[in-house]
Structure 1
């Protein structure tokens, strides 16, 4: 992690499970939810060490006290780099407060440390904030939480803005169990370097900048803004290089999740096909226009392709369900589940 003045991290705070049985407005039960939440350093102040969790009725007063206590000095233009220990404390406190799998991580228990000194001693056993987060606090069953150090880039990505060369790909080991990695192109974004260079779905590649991809190096090799991929082919079950290469360049790109929307005429009906690659709220108008097209064409069947959809806005998922059908009005669309502390609070104050 580069030198930063604050830390931003995302971790699973609740679970969401929903199906496409739409409602105009869902009835919400606090049972399940898969949702990501991020903080910045000013959001969490006092430690919960040795104390019982304080819940939302007291949070407003709690945060007001923090704000008022800091009003005596204007620090807006004063850069105070956080120490590694500061960031570790911030991460621990945030996860101790609201992490979904808190009960699965003994070191996040409210009574785990009786003093700040004990907590600091524990935090200092980890070499970095990343080490603490991934190797000390993230539950084994958690495949969704991650740590970032640039919240601006994070916010852009949630709005569908990211740096890309347009080649959307997957990776797999080859042969099975080997450390070697093979890349395959899933699809190509329009008006990008990959489209310009003629990359197509199904292309294989196994080298970047002349180096064989492996489980250890693929992330580093594919990170630069410009790199050269080496194509591969599969013949008789064997993977080999073709000797062909192409240079790809990344640039900031606005990714419309409505990737393909079309009408497929059949003998007995009109079928609407939608390849939808992310629940991105900033593109809801495009989603609405797509269903306007489907309605105008009087489709009777719908194929909703979510193969490459990585998730996103719950509100957009609700809107999508409502666009598909409204016949399940007043039925539960999704339910939420939080950690035990918050779950109990919500159920008692529903």
Structure 2
């Protein structure tokens, strides 16, 4: 029975490196794989990939593939025995972003910013040169999440979970394996991190991310600087986003700092909205971006070649420049905003190299009645370019910052603290005046070497660490 294509098109970033290079696909076994229980699902996967995959011309013939393989299991290190991954083009190099998930419901929930989690992100750092014990520095807490309701906040230090010291072998499992957790908070004392005696207990629950994490207007001389911490491009918050820019405009904001360091992407239409709210000399005839597809799709659906143009936004700030704060996790829709605005205004990047994702995928699922399998797959199907045809950030180096600043001063200072590492530099770029480095509290802050950082800006729910950008388009 013919399946239908979900109308959601997704650009995503896979956080973390994959450890093995895709092996060359061997000819099919002499035993008839059509007898395998995996064959029907794999045949469906192949047919959908052959139609939509950006590199469909690089795929092997179906009869040269092994339909008996496991269909695909997202997140496993060993993907060589998984059919979906065996089809990818030079995975995980040329194609490092296509993926498949066992449950389409979980996939679509994550695209909507919904997860079952405590609701916080952290950076993990080794406590000493032995690289054994680990400390979590809380980098963000989702508004309304169990973590926030329990009192956890950005800047907190976690040393133990349920009484167990965090170390290099349990730093992931202690989070993943506990539905309820008591976090032992720490402090820096006498040259080391020790337990403060304070604990916070939270239970995982369904969490809806509110991407408008923090806003502030900072006045410096004749500069009125809007500051927005935006963590995911979600259409359901577009109206609130417009209201924020309305507040900025009414206050006379003439500079903007867009903090995307923990934003891995989201809906393309929300990225286009931000571009239209920011761009200088807004003109609805100007192109934001255009998408490139394989020849089959361009012939079958000519509308996919139609460029996306700016929309009329009454709260457009008409800025001369935009300052963007970035990290290695800044990806997809975040990078699209940067690339789309560069032909029209100065876009200044402060922070670290971005993830480097200029390609997009579609959500494909089985809608047969009854449903035959619950797989949801995300093959790369398009590449985006700006109005000048530029798309040269699609490497593992991503965008290189104009001002390289390491986000390695711990614990993290509160959002909006003008002495916070990246915000401090952005304010100096805008005003030309050095911002005092002293902390806003009496806490001790340390600069940590890159080699001591185990992972950065990681959510307690692994599914949230995917970087994605998606949109809806008419398929006729």
Partners of 1:319 and 1:153 lie apart in 2 by 27
**Per the alignment, do residues 155 and 135 of structure 1 end up closer, same or farther by CA in structure 2, a change over 3 Å counting?**
closer
Partners of 1:128 and 1:215 lie apart in 2 by 25
Partners of 2:152 and 2:300 lie apart in 1 by 52
Are 1:336 and 2:291 counterparts?
Answer: yes
Does the 8 A contact of 1:133 with 1:147 survive in 2?
no
Question: Of 281, 286, 290, which residue of structure 1 is paired with 2:240?
Answer: 286
Are 1:200 and 2:153 counterparts?
Answer: yes
Alignment TM-score, normalising by the size of structure 2: 0.47
**Per the alignment, do residues 127 and 325 of structure 1 end up closer, same or farther by CA in structure 2, a change over 3 Å counting?**
closer
Alignment TM-score, normalising by the size of structure 1: 0.61
Which residue is equivalent to 1:119? 66
Shift, 1:239, TM fit: 5.3
Shift, 1:237, TM fit: 7.2
**Per the alignment, do residues 110 and 304 of structure 1 end up closer, same or farther by CA in structure 2, a change over 3 Å counting?**
same
Which residue is equivalent to 1:308? 262
Shift, 1:321, TM fit: 0.5
Partners of 1:274 and 1:319 lie apart in 2 by 15
Which residue is equivalent to 2:358? none
Partners of 1:85 and 1:180 lie apart in 2 by 46
Question: Of 74, 92, 97, which residue of structure 2 is paired with 1:140?
Answer: 92
Partners of 1:149 and 1:177 lie apart in 2 by 38
Does the 8 A contact of 1:166 with 1:189 survive in 2?
yes
Which residue is equivalent to 2:448? none
**Per the alignment, do residues 191 and 111 of structure 1 end up closer, same or farther by CA in structure 2, a change over 3 Å counting?**
closer
Partners of 1:347 and 1:194 lie apart in 2 by 47
Partners of 1:342 and 1:175 lie apart in 2 by 54
**Per the alignment, do residues 260 and 94 of structure 1 end up closer, same or farther by CA in structure 2, a change over 3 Å counting?**
same
Q: Which of structures 1 and 2 has the larger relative contact order (alpha carbons within 8 angstroms, sep 6+)?
A: 1
Give the 3-state SS of the residue equivalent to 1:263 in structure 2: strand
Shift, 1:273, TM fit: 1.2
Does the 8 A contact of 1:179 with 1:214 survive in 2?
yes
Partners of 1:264 and 1:89 lie apart in 2 by 57
Which residue is equivalent to 2:23? none
Shift, 1:312, TM fit: 0.6
Partners of 2:123 and 2:105 lie apart in 1 by 26
Which residue is equivalent to 1:267? 221
Does the 8 A contact of 1:232 with 1:242 survive in 2?
yes
Q: Which runs of 5+ in 1 are unaligned?
A: 1-9, 15-33, 37-81
Which residue is equivalent to 2:27? none
Shift, 1:313, TM fit: 0.6
Does the 8 A contact of 2:143 with 2:213 survive in 1?
no
Give the 3-state SS of the residue equivalent to 2:181 in structure 1: strand
Partners of 2:295 and 2:188 lie apart in 1 by 50
Which deviates more from structure 2 when the two are superposed, residues 237-246 or residues 296-305?
237-246
Which residue is equivalent to 1:77? none
**Structure with greater proportional helix content:** 1
1:247-301: CA deviations, max 9, x gaps?
Answer: 2112223322111122222221221111111110111000111111111112111
Are 1:95 and 2:42 counterparts?
Answer: no
Q: Which runs of 5+ in 2 are unaligned?
A: 1-5, 14-35, 306-476
Partners of 2:161 and 2:268 lie apart in 1 by 37
Are 1:248 and 2:195 counterparts?
Answer: no
1:114-172: CA deviations, max 9, x gaps?
Answer: 5xxx6325x26x89786416864451124434433332333233223333323232335
Does the 8 A contact of 2:66 with 2:83 survive in 1?
no
Question: Of 158, 178, 187, which residue of structure 1 is paired with 2:111?
Answer: 158
Partners of 1:273 and 1:255 lie apart in 2 by 19
Partners of 2:48 and 2:261 lie apart in 1 by 33
Shift, 1:93, TM fit: 3.8
Does the 8 A contact of 2:121 with 2:139 survive in 1?
yes
Does the 8 A contact of 1:278 with 1:310 survive in 2?
yes
Aligned length: 269
Does the 8 A contact of 2:291 with 2:304 survive in 1?
no
Does the 8 A contact of 1:264 with 1:272 survive in 2?
yes
